[in-house]
Amino acid sequence: MTPAKPLKPVRIGILLAAAYAAAVVVTGAGHPVRPLYDGAGFSVPYRWVKAPWYVGSYNVKPKALITAIPFENGISALTGVSSEDSQLVLNLPKGAIPARAGDTSVVASITPLDPAKTAAQPPEGLRPNGNAYHVELAYQPSKEPVPTLAVPGNVIMVVPDDADTILYSASGKGWQKLDSHLLGDPTSVGATFDKAGYYLGTTTLPEYKNPNKKSNLQTLGAAVVTVVLALTVGFFALAGRRRHTGAPQTGGRPGVKSGARPARTVRKKKKR
């Protein structure tokens, strides 16, 4: 038996290109298809509070995280605070948090949220780009909220789609745009951080709609059409069956065919 010859690199490239083209043909007819990743670098999947339809069951839902920030000689230390999923990072310079008498530290709490559950929607032309995050700062042990920072830091957000702007809300009931900047990558964006509240990354890209999801109206319409077709087919089938079996016989004398004239009975006269 002759051993198989190894494939040349050119042939391997042709086969890979053909496989990719086949994948596009099979999955791309009428469907939005995201391109295959370029290169061999490792990319950490985005972690969603509520994953969109195209993520499937591979999502790892993020959790809230609490970090302690100590005071050193009455001054808050230079520190970095991140969410549990590392998709929001706060950089706080030395002395950023004003000291408060009787308190020895500050607790930073970062909670990821589904942006659809906040009371406000992004301004026109923008849509949520990943999770919203609720950042809380509280003195310890008094648990009093920290006011505006004495020295501003910055907030960095990693988002799933190309970033546009970071939005801020003190209560989650109305958003304001922050002066935002891309950080060398279209999915990393930063802005000034000077107070606790709600933060949300946004994008101007359209949302990926599920092409296989039908609306309730479409489903109801399909059900109505199916019922009408079933009734129509049943009606014609019954009518055809009646034609083949013939019309039913009407009432008449026994032994006389339907439609035939009955014979007259002649009575003989009696002789006198």
CATH of the domain at 153: 2.60.220.30
Which two three-digit tokens encode residue 231? 């009734």
Query: What is the pLDDT at residue 200?
Result: 98
Which two three-digit tokens encode residue 121? 């929607």
Task: Report the Cα 184 to chain-centroid distance in Å.
Answer: 27
Asked whether residue 134 is domain-assigned, the answer is: yes
Asked whether residue 162 is domain-assigned, the answer is: yes
Instruction: List the chain residues with pLDDT less than 50.
Output: 2, 4, 6-7, 9-42, 272
| Rounded Cα gap, residues 44 and 146, in angstroms | 33
| Rounded Cα gap, residues 76 and 97, in angstroms | 6
Which region, left, alpha or beta, applies to residue 53 given φ > 0 means left and ψ of -120 to 50 means alpha? alpha
Q: What is the dihedral sign for C-alpha 145, 117, 158, 175?
A: negative
Asked whether residue 261 is domain-assigned, the answer is: no
């992004």: which residue's tokens? 122
Number of H helices, E strands in the chain: 2, 12
Asked whether residue 234 is domain-assigned, the answer is: no
Contact 140, 120 (CB under 8 A): no
Q: What is the dihedral sign for C-alpha 136, 138, 143, 148?
A: negative
| Rounded Cα gap, residues 114 and 134, in angstroms | 11
Asked whether residue 255 is domain-assigned, the answer is: no
Which residues constitute the domain of residue 105?
56-203
Query: What is the pLDDT at residue 31?
Result: 40
Query: What is the pLDDT at residue 7?
Result: 47
Asked whether residue 214 is domain-assigned, the answer is: no
Which two three-digit tokens encode residue 31? 């469907």
Task: Report the Cα 179 to chain-centroid distance in Å.
Answer: 28
Q: Cα–Cα distances in Å, from 10 out to 4, 18, 22, 38, 224? A: 17, 12, 18, 19, 55
What pTM did the predictor assign?
0.66
| Rounded Cα gap, residues 200 and 13, in angstroms | 42
* Residues sharing a CB contact under 8 Å with residue 256, sequence separation 6 or more, in sequence order: 262
Count of structural domains within the chain: 1
Query: What is the pLDDT at residue 269?
Result: 55
Asked whether residue 121 is domain-assigned, the answer is: yes
Asked whether residue 230 is domain-assigned, the answer is: no
